[in-house]
Chains A and B, each alone.
Chain A
Amino acid sequence: MSEVAITTRSRGVARLARKNPLLAWGALVAAALIVVALAAPLIAPHPQDAGSTMHPAATLQSPSRAHPFGTDMYGRDELSRVVYGARVSLSVAGLVLIIAVAIGVPLGIAAGYFGGVVDNIIMRVTDVFLAFPALLLSLALVSVLGPSVRNAVLAISVTWWPWYTRLARGQAASVRGRQFIESCRALGVPRFRMLWRHVLPNSVTPLIVQVSLDAGGVILTAAALSFLGLGAQDPTPEWGLMVSQGQDFFTTQWWLVTFPGIAILITAMAFNLMGDGLREVLDPKRVLTR
């Protein structure tokens, strides 16, 4: 019985991959990135180079067998730093999205389900946050809080949650009109339970898609902040920071910009492909706007 279930499931995955190669590739690459991040100490040839070590004798070496991605201006192995960079980028994305979902979704669900005054108050506050250009607000916040990875996470989260409020509100408002909600009200299901057990589970599909799409966006934003010197600080191996540091040497030491740049590109693309694919698989009819 369970064997049958497993074979049908794996067959299902295979069929899904054939039908939706973008999703399959996106998910595969995203999974590989997570593995790289988790296993960074095993994969990186020189784990200590992710920190503040210096090798004055080996600065700015071009890619070689010993240093496939070359070395930076402090002589640190670029490959090791790119590998460790996956940890930074993925955890920033994960944290930002957890915060954004944790704040945005409950507010949106409440606004959409209750409507009226509750909806008005929540959505006007949300509008205030949306009125600022996201990157500008993040920049302003970081320049007040001081540049660090933690503050970059906070700053990006502050600009990110309102989108989840909007999306969750729209979902909850449409779920509210469905008959099973009315039958739950007739049964006397309490409000909190209604939201948690009925409205949320029926609103969750587009939220999952959005989280996947946004992972790439958050990584790009974090890289942008670091590039501008307002995110991670040396010696943190952050891809945006590495590109920023490498740009002074770009004309002669191309590898310093190229490899972290490619890492950003691949990561952002993988999550975007996965999100697009998920959207198609989970609900072919729905068109998301963002």
Chain B
Amino acid sequence: MLEVRALHVVFESVHAVDGVSLTLPAGPFGLGIVGESGSGKTTIARAVMRLIPLAGGSVLLDGHDVFRLRGGALRAYRRAVQIVFQDADSTLDPRMRVGPAIREALRVHRVVSRDEFGHRVDELLEEVGLESATSSRFPHELSGGQRQRVAIARALAVEPRTLILDEPTSALDVTVQARILRLIAELREKRQLAYFLISHNLAVVQQLCEEAAVLYLGQVIEQGPTGQLLSSPAHPYTRALRSAVPEIDIADRRARVVVPGIVPDPAHPPAGCRFNPRCPFVVQRCREETPLLRRLWAEHSVACHRAEELNPVLVSHGGRGQDALGQTPDNLGSIF
């Protein structure tokens, strides 16, 4: 179980991540982290990977503080949690062929004995849908989708339980995207993976995640089972995000919400609710008092003063019987 507790990350006095808490149970399980650029999604990923220092809070793997790990324990953490970055173009060393790049992961963590390296590299390439001949290629000789597969193979080489998928498909063509997403869905079942899937695309999260958290200016503003979050979003921002995705919004065309304005400068977040300058339902209280993330019902939390009055139906139904945990895995096949 990977936990992020009250995470704070500060870059030159900008609170890129401001008190985010997330819990990722054992796999197979997907937790989507959704938000616009600048919302702090990638910063969370980098913090979880211990690539940047924290200003506050902690990252825990099975209860152990990741930032206190040293030596062998840190290596064990790196084996347990791996990351796939957005742009495989730049995440692979341009001077290293595919084979050695994957072998490096095997070697660094002594995953298998030296004479099995070649064989294991072939297996991994096959697992991500690449030919073994790919191992003699340089990254620039591959297509974007192939490069992302190599990055996935390299991450999987150390046999992690948990993956951080940081916008794994957003640099790719739509058709290639679908294939990579299907690969992730396959690997998740085969390897019993738990993952944070970071994306600005709700449709992607809907396909691959049981649970989702919506991020706005470094804070979680809504979190819950993906199906419920999308069918009955409680936060005005989530509603707007949802209506920006046509596939999800078909049943709900008339209610299309367009958020005016752009994300404010994170160096000077607005007082009160951070969404208030763009919110169509803003009242005086929103400008003065910061809403806390609170449980609305069951697993569904929201940070909005007016959640109940804006969603009366949902509150009275108390959960509306949309069980995303049961629903999403069935959806995995059908969307592609």
- A residues touching B (Cβ–Cβ < 8 Å)? 178-180, 182-190, 193, 197-198, 201-202
Residues of chain B touching chain A, judged by Cβ–Cβ distance below 8 Å, are 46, 49, 51, 74-75, 78-79, 82-83, 85, 87, 90-96, 104-105, 108-109, 151, 154-155, 158
Known A189-B104, A193-B108; contact A184-B93, beta-carbon cutoff 8 A: yes
Cα A202 to Cα B138 with chains together (Å): 14
Bound Cα distance A187, B158 (Å): 9
Let me know if A180 and B92 touch, CB within 8 A.
Answer: yes
Whether the Cβ atoms of B94 and A179 lie closer than 8 Å is: no
Specify which chain B residues have a CB less than 8 angstroms from the CB of A182 in the assembled complex.
46, 51, 85, 91
The answer to whether B74 and A180 touch across the interface, beta carbons within 8 angstroms, is no
Secondary structure class of chain A's binding surface, majority of residues: helix
Q: Pick from B46, B75, B85, B95: contact of A188, CB below 8 A.
A: B75
Give the number of A-B contacts (CB < 8 Å). 60
Chain B residue nearest in CB terms to A183: B91
Contacts of A185 in B (CB 8 A): 49, 51
4 closest residue pairs by CB, A with B: A188-B78, A179-B90, A201-B95, A183-B91
In the complex, A190 Cα to B51 Cα: how many Å? Answer: 14
Taking a contact as CB atoms under 8 Å apart, the answer to whether B108 and A188 are in contact is: yes
B90–A187 CB distance below 8 A: no
Q: Contact check, A202 vs B49: say whether CB atoms are below 8 A apart.
A: no
- Give Cα A141–Cα B95 distance, bound, in whole angstroms: 40
Residues of A with C-beta under 8 A to B75: 188
Contact, CB under 8 Å: A187 / B154: yes
Identity of the chain A residue whose Cβ is nearest the Cβ of B154 in the assembled complex: A187
CB distance from A194 to the nearest CB of B (A): 10
A180 touches B90 (CB 8 A): yes
A188 contacts which chain B residues (CB < 8 A)?
A: 74-75, 78-79, 108-109, 158
Residues of A within 8 A of B74 (CB): 188
**B78 and A186 form a contact (CB under 8 A):** yes
Cα separation A201 to B75 with both chains bound (whole Å): 25
Cβ of B96 and Cβ of A186 under 8 Å apart?
A: no
In the complex, what distance in Å separates the CA atom of A180 from the CA atom of B87?
10
Beyond contacts A182-B85, A186-B49: 13 other A-B pairs, Cβ-Cβ < 8 A, are A179-B87, A180-B92, A183-B83, A185-B51, A186-B78, A187-B78, A187-B158, A188-B75, A188-B108, A190-B108, A197-B96, A201-B96, A202-B93
